[in-house]
Amino acid sequence: MYLKEKNLYASNGDFLKKIQCPKSASIDNLQRRNQFEMNCELCNRQVLDADQFSENELETILKENPDTCLKINLLNPMFNQYEWPI
């Protein structure tokens, strides 16, 4: 999985999602519901914690529902920001 200029791509280069929040929510606006999800206090939407899913699971989730909100930890090696698939 690759993150480039706020766009999230699958490891094969397929576009998955533009990472943006219309409410500009921060971690302070998220209330944890369980290990996998949080609730956004600004819009009441479910936010998935990407650290709790495998790359394949996230790709499946985003292909089925591209509007899924994600909390992304940029230190997670799954979100490689510096390499691009050849």
Residue 52 within any structural domain of the chain: yes
pTM, entire model: 0.85
Residue 71 within any structural domain of the chain: yes
**Domain total for the chain?**
1
Distance CA 63, CA 59 (A): 6
Residue 46 within any structural domain of the chain: yes
DSSP characters for 25-81? --GGGEEE-SSSEEEETTT--EEEEGGGS-HHHHHHHHHH-TT-EEE--TTSTTSBS
Residues 35-55 have pLDDT tens digits of 999 999 999 999 999 999 999
Residue 13 within any structural domain of the chain: no
Q: Give the residue numbers spanning the domain of 61.
A: 24-75
The residue among 84, 71, 86, 68 whose CA lies nearest residue 17 is: 68
Residues 14-29 have pLDDT tens digits of 999 999 999 999 999 9
Residue 11 within any structural domain of the chain: no
Distance CA 13, CA 7 (A): 11
Residue 64 within any structural domain of the chain: yes
